Structure 1
Amino acid sequence: MGLFDGLFGSKEIDENSSAKDLAKFAKSKDEYIRKEVAEHKNCTIELLELLSKDEDPTVRQYVALNENCTIELLELLSKDEDFFVREAVAESPNCSKEMLEVLKDDEWQGVCDAALKKLVELDPNLMQELIESGNEKYLNFLVEYSETTEEDLLKIAKDCNHEILEKIFHNENLKEKSIESLYKKHKNDENLHHLAKGITWNKNTPVKIIKEIYEFFKDPEDGIVFVKIMLNISCSEKTPKDILAELSDCEDSEVRENIAMNLSTPLEINVKLTADSSSFVINEALKTLYEKRTEPKDELLVILKDIVGKLSASGEKVGELGGADVVSGGLMQEDVDHHTEQINSRIKELEG
């Protein structure tokens, strides 16, 4: 009946369990069982009051989300020391506007976001007031909110810090011309490496800006920031083929994995990655070839037959991992068998 049904907790609790049965399970030492009780539609106010004092914060969280939870109990939980519980209070269908007004100024951004979302839905005109407030928590909510318009994003962008500006670039309500304009204004900022993460994530970013950012950051001087930018660039099907080819040699295997999955990656690079040092990259490169690639048909057929031959030749066991056989190339034997079966099936399709 619930999130944990069949995984944890009690198999004796189902959607028809009575309040009497739930009262028995509410005293269980197993927190998963108490969570099931807390979220149950038949959980009484008395049981919810008991569970609102539970030592496990997730149990208290489920109490707040239960539609039977009263305003009075939500009021108590809105002061809970655990921010996820306070966030659940803001998300509760029974949370009052007055309580939301308090929670919108919570110290935890997630609680603020949940409260502000409900308040804006109640009064759309509130958005302009939030923009004009200059309050960073409010602005952080707005720039990630799916209903914030491009016009309002640009208003916020006129006077905000680089963390908020990065999120503005990230928001896909920001279209190509606005991205170009904002990028031109901020391309020489000392925090461009942060802004670039949002810029390269946005699907509306023009190719010329992707190329420019790639050239600027392709030497990995800043470690994690470099990888995050390159992960975004390697995901985008707008990324030029020559850049994807260069990134196929990136030291970070996650970047190479993205290149293997990207349909804009040149076919020869896709094939090259089937012999990568990472089994994750190999798996994705193989799946792209037999699941996603359709052209050029004749060349693809030759490639798939060649790969089947190599997979068959790689069947000699070279070690074990977690009790499973590992064959050359770092693939598990079960992966080799699966890929071989799928490729043979694809070959039949192409030949038919």
Structure 2
Amino acid sequence: MSFPPELAQVIDLAERTPQLLTPEQLALLGILGTYTAAIAAQHPATTDETVIELILNGHIKQLLDYRPSRGETWIIAQAQENPGLCEYLKTNASVPMRIRKAAAKLSPSAPAAPLAEPPAVPEAAAPQDTATVSQCAAQVLRPLRERLLDRRTDPEITADETAEIQATRRLWSLAARHPLLPLDLLLWLDEQRPYGEARETLLRRLEEGPLEESLLLNFAWKGTWEERAAVARNPALPREARLGLTVDPDWWVRSAAAENPNAEPEELAALAQDPDHVTIREHVASHPHASGPTLLALAGDGDHAVRLQVARNPSSPPEALSLLAGDARYAIREAVAAHPYTPSEVLDALAQDANERVQFVANLRRAPLSQAQAQQALETRRRNAKLAVAAQQAPAEMLVRLSRDRSPRVRAQVGLNPHTPSAARALLLGDQVPEVQRVAQAASPSTPGQELAALPLFDARVREGLSSNVSTPDDLLVALSDDPLRDVRLNVLLNPAAPGGALERRLPEQPMRPVIRQHPRYGQVQAKLNDLEWEEVGQPDVSAEALASLGQSDALRVRCKVASHPRTPQETLEVLVNDPEEEVRSGIISRSEELAFGLQVVLAQDASAQLRQKLLRRKDVDPNVLSVVLKASLNDGDILLSLVRHPLATPELLAELADVTRTEIREAVARDPRTPPPTLEKLTMDSQASVQRSILRNPACTPALLRQLANHRHLRLEVAHHSNTDGGTLEHLAYDAAYERFLRLERWTRRLPFGEHVLLRRWRRWSKQRASARALSDVLILSAVIVHPAATPRAVRMASRLDHPNIEQARQDRQHAARQEAHHG
């Protein structure tokens, strides 16, 4: 920072040899600041007029400390004669209470001691003594003084009053403090007392006041460094002049240019590269018009003050916030936790932060707030906690309270909140801070479309408010659909007033497609989206993430392709396996890759019998899935038959299939060699003869099963022919109780002495004929028993009771077979 040479010389003299200072130099030191005012207060050459100026400039305590001779008594005496000083002593908080009380007892109309020569009075009206002249001057100046004391109203100074002020030194300080004083008079006062109150007021006017463009340009090009810095902050400064000040040789001016509310992203990006001073980067990092790339670059700045401003910047992108979430300083992490654009996964991590303040703010952002939580957050009186509440669906009374918060950023966030009550929103529309007012206008549906279109779009909060406002013009919504911030693009898609053009521009962005499909105007772009998805799913390098997104398509052909694609992730297949379209589910079954067990279970219960049948044809089908298919297909004979014949059918599954009501299924189970013996034994008692006969065709049919089947008359012949029938079963087939008794009697009668008696021979012949007659219906069975290799002698004897050619032939065949066996043996 540089000073005029004259001023620097006075300051150097005050530090080295203060005894050489003149009253004029002491008067100048009295208005420069606290340090130099202390020098003037204790210097013996300081005039009473300068002392009074020191008091009016707020340095009464230094005066009381250094000049006891001009203590309370002297100050009260001066106030008795100076109404301006008296009023100051009564109302200013820097004045000690005992002096304020003493000043309050003074008469408000006491005449003031003249600090300068009063204006000339016509001779006819000239008073006869000095007291009369002072009273006349006080009466003339009183209305002007009252207007100068009213700092909120334009004093409307006339030319005569301007001359009066210039002629009356005691009005200079009062006039110099008025923020609405005419600029030419303010400049004149600054010339009279350089670096005094007029300088401060002038700089504020140049920084904030609505001045003519020519004046702003004049100060921007020709002003001092202080004036250029003040003008650089003025929102009304033309863009060309603002650009010129961004390259000003003085770094303080460039830093001030970074604070201009209308600074554009390009200007801020250039200033962010300024290596001269960290203050410039800090101001850029705090500016809501800074672009995402600029803020992302500043998020890695080596100065923590710059990183903190990036974390607080309402336009900071999620990438910058994610980077700052790992910063070593908790204040930066807390600001990230309060930011509305912080990603949810970052908030989850910050909720576990080691610092309690960071945890508290992050948890406020992660879930809807109750009234108790919102109240607890506001009681902390921390800005980050308030921001977290302002960004949530907080109770209405809390949002109303935050709409009057002293922080402009908190108020702006309330204006952006869609749940803000209308009364609070109306208050924010008239906010004194331009950025708060702009955000509230952008989010308010009552703002006319023309005004919305005129809002600057550099602030992310303005763009977010416009993107969700149903009153935003269509062309603006189309432009916002390409915004770099995902939240803004998403709001456009959620806006029911968004035109088809805005939706079409976001079709290539896969994460946005589910939102697009919910839009009332989706029908306008549906065909284009389906064609785009079909092209994407056919790309040879399509990623698993892209396939997961494409699996949500409303185009059947796209979902079918995703279902059969080899790179489709398991999570997507678990969704598609429940797709309402059979073709999609069929595509999953057709996959050449191994099908997960969970998917097989779902498909095994599919409503489509065709799909269940198709699942059974897969080589990798799990054996446990076959049982699930069975439970879902009890009324489908084809599937049940496929289950019986399936190479992976287990004995347990065949046992279940043996209980179905369909006869053909039980027949198939009875023929299957894998059917367990207990199941076959149960089937021997089946009500259908065809099922029992099927057991005979089973290679695993055991002699025990044949023994049970031999009890069924319609199966006796087949049992007799079966190769696995044992001797006992054959005896059972040939057995006749009456013939058995006859054989015993025959053996007994033959042992009698008269065994060959005619009557006995006749009886034996008659009994055998009778037994033969009874056995005539079993001729085929008996013949089969006789020729069966496993037939026992008893079985052959019992079967030979029938006197029939077939029996005789069977006996001959058996004898022949025995001779052949003996010969080969």
| TM-score under structure 2 length normalisation | 0.25
Q: SS where residue 258 of structure 2 aligns? A: helix
Q: Distance in 2 between matches of 1:54 and 1:88?
A: 23
Aligned residue in 1 for 2:367: 266
The answer on 1:238 being equivalent to 2:341 is yes
Shift of the alpha carbon at 1:167? 1.6
Q: Match for 2:158 among 41, 44, 60?
A: 44
Q: How does 1:184-223 map to 2 (within 5 A)?
A: 187=300, 189-191=301-303, 193-218=304-329, 220=330
The answer on 1:25 being equivalent to 2:143 is yes
Shift of the alpha carbon at 1:236? 1.6
Which amino acid in structure 2 is aligned with residue 236 of structure 1? Answer: H
Aligned residue in 2 for 1:74: 187
Cα distance change on mapping 1:271 and 1:98 into 2, 3 Å:
closer
Q: Distance in 1 between matches of 2:294 and 2:163?
A: 51
Cα distance change on mapping 1:76 and 1:234 into 2, 3 Å:
same
Aligned residue in 2 for 1:169: 285
State the Cα RMSD in Å: 4.8
Identity of aligned residues (%): 9
Q: Distance in 2 between matches of 1:49 and 1:26?
A: 12
Cα distance change on mapping 1:259 and 1:47 into 2, 3 Å:
farther
Cα distance change on mapping 1:22 and 1:112 into 2, 3 Å:
farther
Shift of the alpha carbon at 1:195? 1.5
Which amino acid in structure 1 is aligned with residue 159 of structure 2? Answer: I
Shift of the alpha carbon at 1:136? 0.6
Shift of the alpha carbon at 1:85? 1.9
Q: Distance in 2 between matches of 1:230 and 1:49?
A: 59
Q: SS where residue 395 of structure 2 aligns? A: helix
Q: Match for 1:132 among 247, 250, 261?
A: 247
Shift of the alpha carbon at 1:200? 0.8
Aligned residues: 246
Cα distance change on mapping 1:249 and 1:165 into 2, 3 Å:
closer
The answer on 1:154 being equivalent to 2:260 is no
The answer on 1:142 being equivalent to 2:257 is yes
Aligned residue in 1 for 2:203: 87
Aligned residue in 2 for 1:291: 396
Shift of the alpha carbon at 1:199? 0.9
CA deviation profile, 1:281-305 (whole Å, cap 9, x unmatched): 8x97799742189xxxxxxxxxxxx
Q: Distance in 1 between matches of 2:316 and 2:183?
A: 47
Q: Distance in 2 between matches of 1:201 and 1:86?
A: 31
Aligned residue in 1 for 2:294: 178
Structure number with higher relative contact order (C-alpha < 8 Å, ≥ 6 residues apart)? 1
Which amino acid in structure 2 is aligned with residue 45 of structure 1? Answer: A
Q: SS where residue 187 of structure 2 aligns? A: helix
Q: Distance in 1 between matches of 2:357 and 2:259?
A: 32
Cα distance change on mapping 1:44 and 1:201 into 2, 3 Å:
same
CA contact (8 A) 1:148 1:173 kept: yes
CA contact (8 A) 2:337 2:350 kept: yes
Q: Distance in 2 between matches of 1:118 and 1:75?
A: 22
CA contact (8 A) 2:263 2:289 kept: yes
Cα distance change on mapping 1:289 and 1:201 into 2, 3 Å:
closer
Shift of the alpha carbon at 1:238? 2.0
CA contact (8 A) 1:103 1:115 kept: no
Q: Distance in 1 between matches of 2:374 and 2:355?
A: 9
Shift of the alpha carbon at 1:164? 1.0
CA contact (8 A) 1:38 1:51 kept: no
Aligned residue in 2 for 1:113: 229
CA contact (8 A) 1:248 1:259 kept: no
CA contact (8 A) 1:58 1:85 kept: no
Cα distance change on mapping 1:22 and 1:76 into 2, 3 Å:
same
Shift of the alpha carbon at 1:119? 11
CA deviation profile, 1:174-211 (whole Å, cap 9, x unmatched): 2223333x24xx72x531x1111221122232224323
Aligned residue in 2 for 1:330: none
Q: Distance in 2 between matches of 1:134 and 1:39?
A: 38
Cα distance change on mapping 1:216 and 1:70 into 2, 3 Å:
closer
Which amino acid in structure 1 is aligned with residue 225 of structure 2? Answer: D
Cα distance change on mapping 1:209 and 1:24 into 2, 3 Å:
same
Which amino acid in structure 1 is aligned with residue 246 of structure 2? Answer: I
Shift of the alpha carbon at 1:121? 3.0
Q: Distance in 1 between matches of 2:220 and 2:293?
A: 36
| TM-score under structure 1 length normalisation | 0.52
Aligned residue in 2 for 1:334: none
Aligned residue in 2 for 1:315: none
Q: Distance in 2 between matches of 1:136 and 1:195?
A: 17
Cα distance change on mapping 1:35 and 1:244 into 2, 3 Å:
farther
Which amino acid in structure 2 is aligned with residue 190 of structure 1? Answer: G
Shift of the alpha carbon at 1:129? 3.4
Bigger mean CA deviation after superposition, 167-176 or 80-89? 80-89
CA deviation profile, 1:150-181 (whole Å, cap 9, x unmatched): 2222222223332211221222222223333x
Shift of the alpha carbon at 1:141? 1.9
Q: SS where residue 267 of structure 1 aligns? A: coil
Shift of the alpha carbon at 1:266? 1.8
Q: SS where residue 148 of structure 1 aligns? A: coil
Aligned residue in 2 for 1:35: 149
Q: Distance in 2 between matches of 1:155 and 1:134?
A: 15
Cα distance change on mapping 1:56 and 1:244 into 2, 3 Å:
farther
CA contact (8 A) 1:87 1:114 kept: yes
Shift of the alpha carbon at 1:217? 2.8
Q: Distance in 1 between matches of 2:374 and 2:278?
A: 37
Q: Distance in 1 between matches of 2:314 and 2:152?
A: 41
Q: Distance in 2 between matches of 1:77 and 1:56?
A: 10
Q: SS where residue 205 of structure 1 aligns? A: coil
Q: Distance in 2 between matches of 1:248 and 1:55?
A: 59
Gaps of 5+ in 1: 1-7, 9-19, 221-225, 294-352
CA contact (8 A) 2:287 2:313 kept: yes
CA contact (8 A) 2:229 2:254 kept: no
Which amino acid in structure 1 is aligned with residue 368 of structure 2? Answer: L
Q: Distance in 1 between matches of 2:265 and 2:349?
A: 30
Which amino acid in structure 2 is aligned with residue 242 of structure 1? Answer: D
Q: How does 1:299-310 map to 2 (within 5 A)?
A: none
Shift of the alpha carbon at 1:249? 6.8
Q: Distance in 2 between matches of 1:38 and 1:205?
A: 37
Aligned residue in 2 for 1:318: none
Q: Distance in 2 between matches of 1:21 and 1:142?
A: 46
Aligned residue in 1 for 2:785: none
Q: Distance in 2 between matches of 1:22 and 1:246?
A: 71
Q: Distance in 2 between matches of 1:278 and 1:40?
A: 40
Q: Distance in 1 between matches of 2:395 and 2:357?
A: 26
**Pair member with larger Rg:** 2
Shift of the alpha carbon at 1:37? 7.7
Aligned residue in 1 for 2:356: 250
Q: Distance in 2 between matches of 1:105 and 1:210?
A: 36
Cα distance change on mapping 1:215 and 1:22 into 2, 3 Å:
farther
Q: Distance in 2 between matches of 1:139 and 1:267?
A: 43
Q: Distance in 2 between matches of 1:278 and 1:230?
A: 21
Shift of the alpha carbon at 1:38? 8.9
Q: Distance in 2 between matches of 1:152 and 1:277?
A: 37
